[in-house]
Amino acid sequence: MKKFLAIVVISAQALSFGQPKDHEKSMDFMPTYIREYREDLQFPTSKAQDKEVALEKKHNKVNSIVNALARIKLAIINGDYSLARILLLDAKYDKNFSMPIQARYLAILEFITGNYSKSLEVLQQKELSRIKYKDKICLMETLNYIIVDKASEASENWRNCRRYLAGKATSNNLWMDALVALKFEQETKVAASPLDGVNIENERGDLLRLYLKLALYLNEPDTILARIPYLSGEIFRNPRTRELLGLLYYRQGEIVKAYELIEDLSTPNSENIKGNLYLAQSKYELAYAQFKLALKRKSNSQNALERILPTAWRLNQWEDGAKFSKMLDTTSQNNNQRLALQAAFLTKANKHEEARENLKTIIKNKQGQTPLEVNQLLAYNSFVSKAPEELFKYTNKACTQKDGHACWIRAHMLVWEDLTLLADREDPVFQDSDNLLEAYTETFTVNPLEETFFINQKNIEELEDAQIELIPGL
């Protein structure tokens, strides 16, 4: 640095050679020159600056990783599992701190989508083997063991998990105690032991609701309902608590008390309970409206969907039924059932092409092992759509599955040139009865057949005897 300044001073002196020897002006010239050309000079960085730049780069890298992990978490929370899986597969982050988080997110994703064995496999990877991660994964690991029917492993894992969770998550401990006991002991009474001797009137908030949910799950409402008269009025001001109490009364068949508790609530569960109450009274239109309200409050409410679909069928709401059946949350195992249900609604709504697309997807998924109901629906849609070749194909399949009606159609297709032309007939097939099922199942009097004698058998015997002398000598 000193050498550099010396060069600058010498240069300044050289430039000032021959100038008037004014001391004040010559002193002003050098700082001005240095200030003027300083920006063009490249100064070497210090060690402190290097560390600062390196630290900033590391900080930016960590921030980008944290933001990417946050995107994965948000996708899981929002139910966009395909996006979450893609982001996880594309992730190539630093192994020191993000790999355990990625592994845990993947385990959660597999658990949510029903791949419990895969979730268990991910949780047992070496990235999550350290003790400091156990308190974050042991609950899910125990649940996976329970679901895949490994009761002894679940019990042992839960004993270890309680040590990892010592001093925290008491509500989760209570739930898991019940679940493990139910799986291991196979007795509801043993699993419901946490409810024994509990005075719920002394509990408040989340812990009170936990006991109510546990009683609902284990179908042991008596212990809770016996203590309800001792609850303070403050507890009934909470909508969530009232909803659970109403559901307990509904489970016990005390319809009036259940309705009084949930009458002014507008939560999805309360709307479902009201719909159930209307169903019990055969008020299907009101029940249908309540289930639609429940879906408006929570669009993916499976409880509401499972109840509104049969109600829609009864009320001939075919297009609504097709829309609601598409909203069912299904796994790969029962997706074919959802497609078949939607196809049935589409068929009744006269959307035959859409119905056939669904049904053919089922055939593709089943790889030739088509259920009878699918062949029956395909046969009907082929008939209405005037596709005789497909009609013969699917009635033949249904006939081999012992469907008598399909066999009858197949036989008549061999007689009639094009049986599908009958689909245009508007006159009723059955003239005498509006309800064919009742007509065929009602009891009737059995009258014996009367025999008509056209020729007396005795006369025939006499004639034969006269001709061939059946009895010689007479």
For 107-169, the three-class secondary structure string (H helix, E strand, C coil) is: HHHHHHCCCHHHHHHHHCCHHHCCHHHHHHHHHHHHHHHHHCCCHHHHHHHHHHHHHHCCCCC
Query: pLDDT by residue (tens digit) across 6-44?
Result: 444 444 444 444 444 454 444 444 555 555 555 555 556
Q: Which of 331, 263, 327 is nearest to 295 (CA)?
A: 327
**What pLDDT score does 42 carry?**
57
The full DSSP string for 290-304 is: HHHHHHHH-TT-HHH
Gap between the Cα atoms of 29 and 469, Å rounded: 167
Whether the Cβ atoms of residue 107 and residue 135 lie closer than 8 Å to each other = no
**What pLDDT score does 16 carry?**
46
**What pLDDT score does 462 carry?**
75
Q: Which of 170, 176, 268, 275 is nearest to 217 (CA)?
A: 176
Query: pLDDT by residue (tens digit) across 411-456?
Result: 988 888 888 887 777 777 666 666 767 777 777 777 888 877 777 7
- Any idea which residue has 């499972």 for tokens? 306
Residues in the chain with pLDDT < 70? 1-51, 53, 58-62, 91-97, 169-172, 184-198, 331-333, 429-434, 436, 468-474
pTM value?
A: 0.59
**What pLDDT score does 96 carry?**
58
Query: pLDDT by residue (tens digit) across 194-241?
Result: 666 667 777 777 778 887 888 777 777 777 777 777 777 777 888 888
Alpha helical stretches, state H, 298-402:
302-314, 318-326, 335-348, 352-366, 372-384, 388-400
**What pLDDT score does 12 carry?**
47
- Any idea which residue has 């006159």 for tokens? 427
Q: 428: buried, middle or exposed (CB in 10 Å: 19+, 13-18, 0-12)? A: exposed
Q: What angle do CA 230, 234, 239 make, to 5 degrees?
A: 105
For 74, other C-beta atoms within 10 Å of its C-beta total: 13
Cα dihedral value 458, 464, 467, 471, nearest 10: -80
Amino acid identity of 71?
A: R
Whether the Cβ atoms of residue 259 and residue 275 lie closer than 8 Å to each other = no
